[in-house]
């Protein structure tokens, strides 16, 4: 993983460009047209662009905002041809993502900084935690994990074996244990061992009768008994493949427990990466990381500008 802004042939840029390939392909029909010579911008061009945005899940609201801004400039004759429209589209998309581009800061004086990971099942919480633990270790930070997903025995084992292989301590209990109690123990232990970062995994799915949000509220309450400022970040992991459904997930989790950041995974498998613009239109929550594949380096620090450049890159791969 790299937070380099450089383009060229860096792994960061290649990964982002490849990862966004499906969405770029779907956008290409409407957006690629803009690059075929310097044609006049007419209604058909604008309609193709609008359709391309909607097809990649930018959503009705954000598409409306983008199209209105562009149509205004076309009307004022500021955009004389399709190439100018393409450039204006880039600028518009970048400005939409600017508020979401905030680095995740770890305060080295706060020991531990607690990151609580939440999200529905299968979105990539545990995988992201593994990748991030490595990322923090590479920055010289000590990391501990809390196996707060006690729903499946395999979930506890997944984290434990990953921790053993990577020399990261994992606090866990048996399957079915109270996850708030696992997190409570982990926070006490992380404090006693003076760890820099504690990352808590949680279940995405529970037995029918237990309410996920109630459990998360309890986890937060228990943490705050040990450290009133914990958790320092509450991060929702979203699978980019679910499209518009991501919006209701953000709302539901944010209303219940208050989110401080988002991670958007599986962009590589999705042609719906436009969902990030819909998110930016509705919520003021930073996107800290994006997942563009299953390898360690495929979790990238999110930055709006290279994201848009990769999405609208002229060559297809």
Residues at the interface with ligand GTP (CB under 6 A): 119, 121-127, 149, 155, 204, 237, 265-266, 268-269, 291-294, 298
Contacts of residue 274, Cβ cutoff 8 Å, sequence gap at least 6: 23, 27, 53, 56, 57, 58, 59, 62
Site string for Mg ion, 268-297 (x = CB under 5 A): ------------------------------
Tokens, residue 36: 């075929």
227 vs 268 by CB, closer to ligand GTP: 268
* β-strand pairing of 143-148 with 299-301: unpaired
Contacts of residue 115, Cβ cutoff 8 Å, sequence gap at least 6: 132, 197, 198, 199, 200, 231, 232, 233, 235
Interaction with Mg ion in 103-142: which residues (CB under 5 A)? 125-126
Q: Which residue is nearest to ligand GTP (CB)?
A: 291
202 vs 281 by CB, closer to ligand GTP: 202
Tell me how far, at minimum, the Cβ of 244 lies from ligand GTP, in Å.
19
Cα distances from 277 to residues 24, 96, 111, 256, in angstroms, run 14, 7, 35, 23
33 vs 126 by CB, closer to Mg ion: 126
Tell me how far, at minimum, the Cβ of 80 lies from ligand GTP, in Å.
40
Q: Choose the one of Mg ion, ligand GTP, none that binds residue 127, judging by a C-beta under 5 to 8 angstroms depending on kind.
A: ligand GTP
Tell me how far, at minimum, the Cβ of 20 lies from Mg ion, in Å.
25
Rounded-to-integer distance, Cα 38 and Cα 40, Å: 7
Residues that bind Mg ion (CB under 5 A): 125-126
């Amino acid at each position: 993983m790299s937070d380099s802004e450089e383009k060229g042939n860096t792994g960061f840029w290649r990964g982002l460009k490849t990862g966004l390939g499906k969405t770029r392909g779907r956008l290409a029909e409407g957006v690629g047209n803009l690059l075929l010579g310097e044609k006049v911008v007419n209604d058909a061009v604008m309609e193709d662009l609008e359709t391309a945005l909607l097809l990649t899940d930018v959503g009705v609201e954000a598409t409306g905002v983008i199209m209105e801004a562009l149509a205004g400039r076309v009307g004022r004759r500021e955009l004389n041809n399709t190439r100018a429209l393409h450039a204006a589209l880039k600028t518009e998309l970048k400005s939409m993502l600017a508020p979401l581009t905030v680095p995740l800061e770890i305060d080295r004086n706060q020991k531990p900084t607690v990151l609580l990971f939440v999200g529905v099942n299968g979105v990539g919480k545990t995988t992201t935690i593994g990748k991030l633990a490595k990322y923090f270790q590479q920055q010289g930070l000590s990391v501990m994990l809390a196996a707060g997903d006690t729903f499946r025995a395999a979930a506890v084992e997944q984290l434990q074996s990953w921790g053993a292989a990577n020399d990261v301590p994992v606090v866990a209990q048996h399957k079915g244990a109270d996850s708030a109690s696992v997190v409570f123990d982990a926070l006490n232990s992380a404090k006693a061992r003076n760890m820099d970062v504690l990352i808590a995994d949680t279940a995405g799915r529970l037995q029918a009768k237990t309410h996920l949000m109630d459990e998360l509220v309890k986890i937060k309450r228990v943490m705050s008994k040990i450290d009133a400022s914990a958790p320092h970040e509450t991060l929702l992991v979203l699978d980019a493949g679910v499209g518009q459904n991501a919006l209701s997930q953000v709302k539901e989790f944010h209303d219940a427990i208050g989110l401080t950041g988002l991670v958007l995974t599986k962009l590589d498998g999705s042609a719906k990466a436009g969902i990030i613009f819909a998110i930016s239109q509705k919520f003021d929550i930073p996107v800290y990381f994006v997942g563009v594949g299953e390898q360690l380096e495929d979790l990238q620090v999110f930055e709006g500008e290279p994201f848009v450049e990769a999405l609208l890159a002229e060559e297809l791969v």
